[in-house]
Structure formats: C-alpha cells, structure tokens
Amino acid sequence: MAQMLQSEEVLFATESDVDNYNDQLPEIATEKYLIFSSDSLMYGIKAEQVRDIITGYTITYLPRVPGYVRGVINLRGQIIPIVDIRLRLGKPEQDNFCIIVVEVDGSMVGIMVDMVEQMVDVPLDSILPVPTNSGQAMVSGMCTLHDGNTMLELDCGLLLHD
Amino acid sequence: MGDSILDMYLYETNTLLEQLDGILLTAEQADTFSEDNVNEIFRIMHTIKGSSAMMEFSSLMTVAHRIEDMFFIVREKGMDVVPEQTKPELFDMLFQAVDFFRGEIEKVENGDPLSQSIDHIVNKINSLIDKIQGNPAAPAAEASAEAESAPASEAEAAAPAVSAVNQDYPYGVHVFFDEGSGMENLRAFMCANSVKDYCGDFVTYPDNVESDPSTSDIIADQGFFVWFRTADDRDSAIPGVKNAGSVREYQPVDAAKPAPAPAQEAPKAEAPAPAPSAQAPKADSPAPKPAPAAAPAGQQHAKESLISVNLSKLDQLLAVVSEIVITESMVTASPDLKGLRLDNFTKSARDLRKLTDDLQDVSMSLRMVPVSGTFQKMNRIVRDMSKKLGKKAKLTLIGEDTEVDKTIVDAIGDPIMHIVRNSMDHGLEENEADRIAAGKDPVGEVILSARHTGSEVIIEIKDDGQGVDTQAVLNKAIRQGLAAPDHDYSQKEILNFLMMPGFSTNTEVTEYSGRGVGMDVVKKNVADVGGTVSISSEWGKGMTTTLKIPLTMAIMDGMEVSVGGSMFTIPINSIQSSLKVGAKDVIHDPAQGEMVKIRDNFYPIIRAKELFQMEKGYENIEDGILMWVESGEHSYCLFVDELLGEQQIVVKPLPNYVNSFGVKNYGITGCSILGDGSISIILDVINVYTAAHNIF
C-alpha cells in the first residue's frame, strides 16, 4: 500500500516536488527529459543527449535525400543534418523552426519540432513499455506526466537508423 | 609515461629497421657495403642495442649486439675482410635479422612475450663472425667493440672515449675545463705546455689545439686527452695538469687493450692526418673530415628536427584553423561594415587574410607525408619474391617524394603490396626464356609511380610482363557466373572482372597471391579513401593498375553556382568553360536527351534542377548557363541558374547520416562553408554524370 502511494506521488509530483523527494529518498532513480511537442503530441528526449536548442538557422536544401531530412545547417562550423520529426512520423508538414540538436552515437543531428516545452525529471520506473500495436516505431516508452499529459519517449537512435 | 617511452621506442626502432632495409637492398645490388653503409648499420645496431637494453628486450638486444660486433670488425678492417663466398650469406643473415627484429617488434606492439630461443640466429651471426675473422679471435674483437661502441651513440657522446689515439701511449689523463670558460683550445694548449715541464713524451687529443679553434667545441664537449707512454710518466705529469688554469676536473684513464691487429692500426694512427679511424665519427669537426663522420652527424641532426605528434591533435588543429578561416571572412565581410569607409580596418583585414592563408597552408602541410616509406617497402617484396619465384625483377620508383595525406598513405600500403605481388606472381613471365623470346629485357621490371594532378594523387603500378589474357579472364568469369556467355564484353569490362570479389585467374594458390582475395580488396580499400582503381593491359606487353585518390580534406578552388536558390561548388579543375546558349543550339535525341555542340563535338546536357529534383530553378536554357565540365573520360554540360564566382573552399565531409542515403551516388561529395556562413554543396563531376545516366 505504501509502495503504491509512493509511486503515485512521484507520478504527479511537480518538478520541485521531485527535487524534495530526491532529498528524502535518493534511491529512486530519475532521468531528466526534455519535453517537446509535435503535432499536439508530447515527446521526451533524454536530456543528456541534448546539445543545443536553436532557432532561426537557415537550412540548406540537400538534394536526393528522403523528404524528412530537411537539409543541413552550419552550427558554429559544424555541418549538422536536420530531421523534421513531423515528416519522419508521417505527419503533415508545418513551418516550425525550433531545432533540438542531439548527439547520437557520436554524431550531431538536429531534430525539428513544433515547440520545446520544458525539462522534467522522470522516475525511471514510471516509464512503461509501449503497447506493441501502437505504430510509433521510434517511441521506446511512455509515461504520464504530472500535468496529466502523456510523454512519449523518443529513441533518437531509432529515429536515425531505421 | 611508460607508454610514451614504449611508443618512442617502437617508432624509433621501426624507422631504423626501415632504414636498414633500404641500406641492405642497395648494398645487395652493389654486392658490397660502402664505408657509409657499414657505419650506418653499425650505428643502427648500436642504437637498437642500447634502446632495447633500456626497455629490457633482451632478445633484441643480444642479436643487435652481435651484429654490431660483426660490423665493428668490418668497419675496422674494411669490406675486404668478408670472403667473397660469404657475402650472400651475410646479406641473407642481415635480412633474416631484420625480419627477426620486425617480428619481435610486432610482439612488443601486441604485448606478446618475446622469443626466448634466439640461438639459431645468434649462432649464424657467430659463425659469420668467425668466417670473417678467419680465426678464433672473436673474443678480443668483442672486447674492443664494447670499449669503442661509445663514439656512435649520441647519448653517450659526452662519455670518455677510452681509446688511445696512439697505441704506444695507452695511459691518459682526461681533462675538463671550467664550463663556459671559452677558448678551450687555447686552455688545452696551455695545459699541454704546463705538462711539458714535467714530462715531454706525450700526445694529445685533439692534437692541433693551438692552430685549430674549432677543436674548442670538442674539448668543451668531450674533454681534452693527454696520453702518455707509461703510467709513471702520467703520474709525474699530473701536477702539470693540476697547475694549468681553468681545469675543472681531470681523471686518469687507461686505453682499452688494443684491437687484435695493432700492427695494422699503428701506422694509421701515426699518419699525419689528425683523425684516427676509431675516433673520427665522434669528433665531427677537425679539418680533414673523414667520410664516416658526416653520416652520423647528419643523422643526429635529422632526428632532432622531427617530432611525432598524435594524429588527432593535428586534426583538431586543422579543424580550428578552418574555423578561423571561415570566421575571418565572416568578420571582414560582415554586413555591419557595409557603406563604411574604414581604411585602417581594411588594411588590417588584408594583413589578417594573408596570415590566415599562411596558417592554413602550413597546417595543411602538416598532415602530408611522402609516399616513399610505402614505396620503399615494396623493394623488399620484389626482392623476396624474385628470389623465391626465381624470376629476375627490378623495381623502379618514380615520384617517391609525392606528398599525400597521412590517411591515404596508410590506406594505400596494402593495396599497393597486393598489386606488386600480383605483378610479380602473375604478371611477369615464368621463364626468362619467354621474356627473351618476346624481345624483352630478361630482367622484369615493375614501375611504381606517384604523382599529383590538381585534385588527385595518381599511383600507378606497371609491369612489363605478359599482360592479362582477356580470353582466359572472360572464360573464368563465365564459369563463375559473373559474366553472361552470350554477351560481348569490351576489353575494359573484362578487366573489371578482375576486381570482382572471389575472382582469381591463377588456378593454383601460391604463397603470395591467388587466394581469391586480392583485387576486390584493393578496390574496397581504395574506395574507402574515396579513390578508384582501374586496370589496363595489353596482351604480351604488361599491365598497369592505376589508383586515383582524391586529396582528402583539401582546400580547393571551386566555382560557385546556384540552382534554385541553393549553392553548389564545382571543382575548378574539372571545368572546361562556361557558356550561354540559346534554345536553338540545343539538339534533342530520340529519348528527349539534350545535347549541345561545342567545337565540333556533341556533349550531353545535364540539368542540375532535374537531377537534384529542385522545385525552383530556371527551365529555359537561355536564362541559365552551361558549365562545360570534364573528368576522366566523361565530358558534358551541367545546366545551372547562375555563375556566382570562384572561391577557395575548405572541403567538409557530409555528416554520416546524410551519406547513409547514398547522396555520393548523385555526385554530392561534401560541402563547404562560405564566407557568409552559408553552406555550399560540392559536386563530383563524374558521379553527377553516372547518376544522370542511371536516371534518364
């Protein structure tokens, strides 16, 4: 009973609450996630993979690549490919200019999203497996946030290599 | 720390072994060792001995030591001491020794334990030493080799060379003057004068101190020697040394027992010229400089002027430098400066530009290494194989000094070796008689050449053997299911079968080639660094394999063009010219392909807009411009919107993620960042052509 209460509390804890919680019970492992929205869904990326959040870069068109690769940008001298997550997931295109730069397997990739929401601590045990029949191939887990939204955990490796 | 010492050791030893290999090969051709060779081998063995002892690699040390001993004898007595019939044995032994060292070094690199049983090679050396000596005098020679090993070693240069100038004056005093006292030669002269008061019978080293000021450095470095006939003479003269001015320190030294042949030695030492043989390599300045002195001195200098740097640090440096170049143009071309008159700024900006250009050139050259190292290794392969296969062959190297990027040098080593082996094994005729019958020199030739064109390194491996039997290749290809039996293949297509995986014409697997891996691996390795392999051959005349490798990470001159708002760079050296044409100049073929006639030749037109599926871009041929390009055997016109101008660009590779979509096949090889921070895509003229042909 106590166990259940605990996990419920964590699930609905605000960020500061979680911090308090960590002070008391440091053994509960949490992971920081960056939440962003795309086509009214909330996605989370492990914060440790995130290198930068940028806006207003000119994207250079690259011929002969799949449509979801919007091109490349020059980020302080580095050439970084940009993947539009809407197109990648088969959603309609929209002009959105917020790019999350992540590092996957040693290379940097920019992910184009609608909007970056917030940073949250998510207890690892609250991330549940995705039901197999959901078509979201690049989602490796899901979890309910304290505001009632559901976060889909995005697996950047799958996003790139599938 | 320990690792860096080991790295140094491996690097140094490998370099020395390569050097040794080279010396041996030239010496074998001349069938003798020149005086320089002998000294050089002696020095190499001495260094290997010393450093191996330091690293406690006893097997290496022992073998090096024995060879050093042997060459000490040769050095002392000249090459004539080696009986004519022993020479081939000597060369073989040395090559074996080099292989042994290589093997041991490899073990060290892999962290494997070293060989314990080195008796066979040591015995071989010993028996050779005996043969050279012609008598059992080996122990004595060894003793003197020990004693005299000092001169060759740089590290021990300051140590007393305990060897009398003259065998008749074996008792010496080694005098050091106050450090920095200056004019050491005069102080030595005064010291000698002062000694004269006590005992008149002595010789000095250096001996012409009063007349030759250059001896002053030697004395400052190695001290001043006074040699006496007897120990008593020396004792009586000590006060004289003591009384001389500026003497910091002195110590009595006894010369080693003379080398086995004093009779031979003595006249040499009494000769009027000051530099006696054993001492000469050490003193590198007295006026009549004997030849051996030059080699070690030059060598030492070369060593000091080289440092080895981790490749990743160089890459880091290059990355920063290219950033600086880009940032510099972003600063000087900043839109904020538009319309301002800034004389001082402009001047400084110009200076900055020049400096960054220099910086770029220098840092680019850092990664460049000559191909000679890789080429030289082939000498050994040709030698070994020609012995083993009984085919006489020589290797000619052309353009060894050609410098290419380090990564390329590393990547082409194995492919070249494969091809050279192939040439030796399959290329050259089995029998000399066949060659003579064909009117060729009985000695086969393999030519290895390297040269630069603007954007590529071209490496050619050419042999004058029997060439490729295209019919046999085709038959085999058909048997293996690689070729269709009822199809007509061109010569070139048939030769390409040679590079297909699993193809090998030789029915027998030999030690050197013909394992069914070979040319396809060569092709793959070369493709890994962005290069191509092509084979040409004429039956009966030989075969040429050409590797074309782009200069990676180069800075290149490119022509900026725009298509539908995107910028592309075409390498300047593949552009023939640009031209404007009207719609009536365009000729259509039945398949709706477009062509244009330039100087009596027709060239296809490739529209970049269509190839790259751009949304925008000019449709009318009058609006845009044709870039007439040529690379390899392809020549065509690329239709683009506008010509923006020439620019020097830093080639950046595309991200791996982008490359995984195979954009290279569409002629997109890389990109570069322009002065305003925007990105331009670099086109590869050949792949654009092939892509266009596959699509349309």
Give pLDDT tens digits for A70-113: 999 988 778 899 999 888 888 888 877 789 999 988 889 999 99
Q: Which residues of chain B have a CB within 8 Å of the CB of A61?
A: 565-566, 614
B523, B550, B577 - which closes a domain: B550
Q: Which of B565, B613, B679 sits opposite A72 (nearest CB)?
A: B679
B651 touches chain A (CB under 8 A): no
B367, B387, B405 - which closes a domain: B367
Angle at B671 between CA B666 and CA B676, to 5 degrees: 140
Give the mean pLDDT of B509-519.
51
Q: What is the CATH number of the domain that holds B426?
A: 3.30.565.10
Chain A residues interacting with chain B (CB cutoff of 8 angstroms): 58, 60-66, 69, 72-74, 76-77, 79-81, 107-109, 160
Q: What is the CATH number of the domain that holds B197?
A: 3.30.70.1110
* Residue B149 in this model has a pLDDT that exceeds 60: no
* Residue B144 in this model has a pLDDT that exceeds 70: no
Give the mean pLDDT of B165-192.
70
Same domain, B320 and B209: no
Same domain, B356 and B384: no
What 3 state SS string does B142-183 have?
Answer: HHHHHHHCHHHCCCCCCCCCCCCCCCCCCEEEEEEECCCCCC
Residue B344's domain comprises 313-367
* Residue B138 in this model has a pLDDT that exceeds 80: no
In this prediction, residue A101 carries a pLDDT of 94
Is residue B344 domain-resident? yes
Cβ <8 Å between B681 and A60: yes
Tell me the C-alpha distance between B375 and B409, whole Å.
Answer: 10
First to last CA, chain B: 61
Is residue B414 domain-resident? yes
Cβ <8 Å between B614 and A63: yes
Is residue B443 domain-resident? yes
Inter-CA distances, A60 with A79, B38, B58, B254, Å: 10, 63, 61, 81
B490 touches chain A (CB under 8 A): no
Q: Which residues of chain A have a CB within 8 Å of the CB of B614?
A: 61, 63
Residue B561 pLDDT grade (very low, low, confident, very high; cuts 50, 70, 90): very high
DSSP string, B511-542: SSS-SS-SHHHHHHHHHHTT-EEEEEEETTTE
Cβ <8 Å between A81 and B668: no
How many angstroms from the chain centroid is the CA of residue B222? 35
B652 touches chain A (CB under 8 A): yes
Q: What does residue A74 show for φ and ψ, rounded to 5 degrees?
A: -105, 100
Is residue B306 domain-resident? no
Tell me the C-alpha distance between B284 and B294, whole Å.
Answer: 7
Q: Which residues of chain B have a CB within 8 Å of the CB of A76?
A: 323
Same domain, B416 and B274: no
Q: Which pairs count as long-range contacts for B349-357, CB under 8 Å and 24+ apart, including other chains?
A: B352/B328, B353/B328, B356/B324, B356/B325, B356/B328
Q: Percentage of chain B surpassing pLDDT 70?
A: 78
Distance from the Cα of B422 to chain A's closest Cα (Å) equals 40
Give the mean pLDDT of B357-378.
83
Higher pLDDT, B239 or B121: B121
Q: Which pairs count as long-range contacts for B264-269, CB under 8 Å and 24+ apart, including other chains?
A: B264/B77, B265/B167, B266/B166, B266/B167, B266/B168, B269/B165, B269/B166, B269/B167
Same domain, B50 and B83: yes
Q: Report the residue of chain A nearest B683, measured CA to CA.
A: A63
Residue B368 pLDDT grade (very low, low, confident, very high; cuts 50, 70, 90): confident
Is residue B307 domain-resident? no
The predicted-structure confidence for B308-346, as pLDDT tens digits, reads as follows 788 788 878 887 887 787 778 778 877 788 888 888 998
Same domain, B250 and B345: no
Same domain, B236 and B335: no
The predicted-structure confidence for B591-644, as pLDDT tens digits, reads as follows 778 899 888 888 999 999 988 888 888 988 999 999 999 877 788 999 999 999
Residue B137 pLDDT grade (very low, low, confident, very high; cuts 50, 70, 90): very low
Is residue B295 domain-resident? yes
Residue type at B225 in one-letter notation: F
Q: What is the CATH number of the domain that holds B612?
A: 2.40.50.180
Cβ <8 Å between B612 and A63: yes
B656 touches chain A (CB under 8 A): yes
- Burial class (CB within 10 angstroms; exposed 0-12, middle 13-18, buried 19+) of A33: buried
Give the mean pLDDT of B504-510.
51
Q: Which of B327, B611, B671 sits opposite A72 (nearest CB)?
A: B671
Higher pLDDT, B306 or A17: B306
Check: CB of residue B189 under 8 Å from CB of residue B209.
yes
* Residue B205 in this model has a pLDDT that exceeds 50: yes
Check: CB of residue B60 under 8 Å from CB of residue B116.
no
In this prediction, residue B163 carries a pLDDT of 52
Tell me the C-alpha distance between B338 and B644, whole Å.
Answer: 20
Distance from the Cα of A60 to chain B's closest Cα (Å) equals 6
Is residue B50 domain-resident? yes
Residue B256 pLDDT grade (very low, low, confident, very high; cuts 50, 70, 90): low
Same domain, B358 and B376: no
CB contacts under 8 A, B 572-631 vs A, are 611-614
Same domain, B386 and B526: yes
Same domain, B82 and B113: yes
Same domain, B250 and B266: yes
Cβ <8 Å between B671 and A60: yes
The predicted-structure confidence for A35-80, as pLDDT tens digits, reads as follows 998 888 888 999 999 999 998 888 899 988 988 899 999 887 788 9
Check: CB of residue B446 under 8 Å from CB of residue B394.
yes
Same domain, B363 and B377: no
Instruction: Report pTM.
Output: 0.47
Give the mean pLDDT of B517-544.
80
Query: Residue length, chain B?
Result: 696
Q: Which residues of chain B have a CB within 8 Å of the CB of A81?
A: 655, 657-658
In this prediction, residue B385 carries a pLDDT of 85
Same domain, B121 and B16: yes
Residue B470 pLDDT grade (very low, low, confident, very high; cuts 50, 70, 90): confident
Tell me the C-alpha distance between B150 and B164, whole Å.
Answer: 14
In this prediction, residue B147 carries a pLDDT of 40
Is residue B308 domain-resident? no
Residue B620 DSSP class = S
> For chain B, what is the domain count?
5
Structure-block tokens of residue B318: 């290059």
The predicted-structure confidence for B42-68, as pLDDT tens digits, reads as follows 888 888 888 888 788 888 888 888 888
b/e code B571-592 from CB counts within 10 Å (16+ = b): bebbbeebeebeeeebeeeeee
Higher pLDDT, B198 or A107: A107
A8 membership: H or E segment, kind and range: helix A2-11
Tell me the C-alpha distance between B457 and B373, whole Å.
Answer: 16
Q: Rank A27-36, A45-54, B518-527 by mean pLDDT and report only the highest.
A: A45-54
In this prediction, residue B285 carries a pLDDT of 40
Number of A/B CB contacts below 8 angstroms equals 72
Residue B417 pLDDT grade (very low, low, confident, very high; cuts 50, 70, 90): confident
Query: What strands, in cross-sheet order, belong to the sheet with A30-38?
Result: A115-123, A30-38, A41-46, A150-154, A139-144
B491, B518, B550 - which closes a domain: B550
